[in-house]
């Protein structure tokens, strides 16, 4: 699964997104987005587009609608960043709720069109199949946003795109041995971040 960049025309932009905002917390990035910072939005997109897509596939059972969900979710982040309150929820929790609500709208659209052969209706998109798995997915995504770029890259490719270490090596051009050691270090660091987050912030969903 390869995600496309945001549709810049939807956001009234002409420049190409180039994520250069690194090492900044999600909540600070949202504040910058509220001030019209496109690079901050691009960084949030890089951090969270995959879990939004994966959540869309799980809830909607339609890869095309899941791609629409990614576009809509980050358009709403751009438009609604000023309403985000870090005292009420983390960015990951806020985006998860926004994503799920938008999935409900897309599911209604799906139900009013004729179903293709092999499609099955989704009886309850608000919870979705395996809702706890969805939340765990976002716990991982939030933790990934807080580790180094190299570590995040290998885990994103493995966790959200299902690539083997050899495939990650081929995709990135990094030697296989380096990918193996980087993955081991990344998993260790991810575990540490998730343990700290679990202590600091109780689950809100």
Supply the mean pLDDT for the chain: 78
In sequence order, what are the residues at sequence separation of 6 or more whose Cβ sits closer than 8 angstroms to the Cβ of residue 119? 61, 62
Q: What is the pLDDT of residue 4?
A: 54
Residue pair 203/135 in contact by the 8 Å Cβ criterion: yes
Give the predicted TM-score (pTM) of the model: 0.65
Residue 36 backbone class (left: φ over 0; alpha: ψ -120 to 50; beta: rest): left
Q: Has residue 10 got a pLDDT over 60? A: no
Residue scoring higher pLDDT (5 or 166): 166
Tell me the C-alpha distance between 153 and 163, whole Å: 11
Q: Has residue 178 got a pLDDT over 90? A: yes
For the record, the structure tokens of 64 come out as 């095309």
Q: What is the pLDDT of residues 145-158, one digit of tens each?
A: 888 889 988 988 88
Q: Has residue 205 got a pLDDT over 70? A: no
Q: Has residue 133 got a pLDDT over 60? A: no
Classify the C-alpha dihedral 52-56-57-62 as positive or negative: negative
């Amino acid at each position: 699964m390869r995600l496309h960049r945001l549709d810049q025309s939807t956001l009234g932009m002409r420049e190409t997104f180039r994520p250069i905002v690194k090492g900044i917390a999600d909540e600070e990035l949202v504040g910058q987005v509220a001030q019209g910072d496109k690079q901050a939005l691009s960084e949030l997109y890089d951090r969270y587009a995959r879990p939004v897509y994966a959540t869309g596939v799980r809830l909607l059972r339609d890869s095309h609608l899941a791609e629409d969900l990614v576009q809509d979710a980050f358009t709403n982040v751009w438009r609604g960043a000023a309403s985000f309150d870090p005292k009420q929820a983390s960015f990951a929790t806020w985006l998860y709720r926004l994503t799920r609500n938008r999935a409900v709208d897309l599911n209604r659209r799906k139900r009013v069109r004729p179903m293709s052969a092999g499609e099955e209706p989704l009886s309850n998109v608000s919870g979705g199949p395996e809702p706890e798995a969805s939340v765990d997915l976002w716990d991982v995504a939030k933790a990934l946003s807080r580790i180094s770029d190299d570590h995040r890259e290998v885990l994103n490719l493995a966790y959200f795109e299902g690539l083997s270490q050899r495939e990650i090596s081929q995709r990135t051009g990094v030697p296989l041995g380096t990918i193996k050691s980087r993955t081991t270090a990344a998993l260790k660091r991810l575990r540490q971040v998730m343990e700290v987050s679990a202590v600091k912030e109780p689950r809100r969903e």
